[in-house]
């Protein structure tokens, strides 16, 4: 096989194109190989958001929308020092919180969500973050991604798969899904990834997206998954490229 740059046509190996009829990107043996390589690359990864409680993780995850974990981690230590309990947040008006979270972006909506979630938790759940999907989804600012982060990272409950921009990009590149909607992507991943791997798998894809599988110019030459990845936008490849395998 001949290494190529993304966008070029591979002649070496094209004789095996007939094999593509039998190619199944979600075959159990391929899934097992993907998981094995992710374990080699990221054996013990977890959520990068700094937190010491389920409530702190919930807040940090809400603030992380359209922001970076690094930026959120700059904001939250002082935020949680200033407002140390969920009750302290519930006593605020959203406008009071805005200056504290402004640097995370979309600070008006995020302030409204955080204060609203705090009030709901205090009023309906005795001040405790609920540990089931149904109740979490009743909280302002909480959709399945945020709920899965809290359930998986804090409570170790595998209710679903976290689907963020990294998971979306890499799952599509690896041909684990053809969907673009996060909920449909999650359903596809839940069908092919063993349930006991849902939590770690999502963290591994997120770290992979940060370390190697960038949105632009991924570092394919350094990736252990390269030989089983046929993504159309690879920067370097030793395998046949599949034009539909792309973010």
CA distance 158 to 152: 6
Structure tokens at 65: 């929308």
Q: Identify whether the C-beta of residue 27 lies closer than 8 Å to the C-beta of residue 33.
A: no
Residue 131 CA to its chain's centroid (Å): 20
Q: Which residues pair with 218 in a beta bridge?
A: none
Within 10 Å of residue 200's Cβ, how many Cβ atoms?
Answer: 20
Catalytic amino acids?
145, 164
- Kindly report the CA angle at 245 between 243 and 236, in degrees rounded to 5? 80
**Angle 94-101/107-124 helices, nearest 10 degrees?**
130
């Amino acid at each position: 096989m001949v290494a190529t740059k993304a966008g070029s046509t591979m002649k070496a190996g094209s004789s095996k194109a007939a094999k593509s009829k039998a190619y199944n990107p979600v075959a159990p043996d391929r899934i097992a190989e993907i998981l094995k390589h992710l374990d080699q690359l990221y054996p013990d990864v977890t959520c990068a958001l700094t937190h010491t409680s389920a409530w702190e993780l919930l807040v940090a995850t809400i603030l992380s929308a359209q922001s970076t974990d690094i930026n959120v981690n700059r904001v939250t230590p002082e935020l949680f020092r200033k407002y140390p309990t969920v009750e302290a947040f519930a006593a605020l008006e959203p406008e009071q919180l805005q200056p504290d979270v402004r640097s995370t972006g979309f600070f008006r909506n995020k302030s409204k969500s955080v204060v609203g979630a705090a009030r709901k938790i205090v009023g309906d759940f005795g001040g405790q973050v609920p540990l089931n999907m149904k109740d979490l989804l009743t909280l302002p600012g909480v959709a399945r991604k945020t709920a899965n982060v809290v359930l998986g990272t804090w409570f170790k409950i595998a209710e679903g798969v976290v689907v963020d921009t990294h998971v979306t990009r890499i799952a599509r590149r690896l041909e684990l899904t053809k969907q673009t909607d996060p909920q449909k992507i999650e359903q596809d991943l839940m069908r092919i990834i063993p349930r006991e791997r849902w939590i770690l798998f999502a963290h591994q894809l997120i770290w992979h997206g940060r370390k190697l599988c960038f949105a632009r110019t991924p570092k394919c030459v350094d990736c252990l998954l390269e030989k089983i990845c046929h993504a159309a936008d690879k920067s370097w490849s030793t395998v046949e490229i599949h034009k539909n395998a792309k973010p």
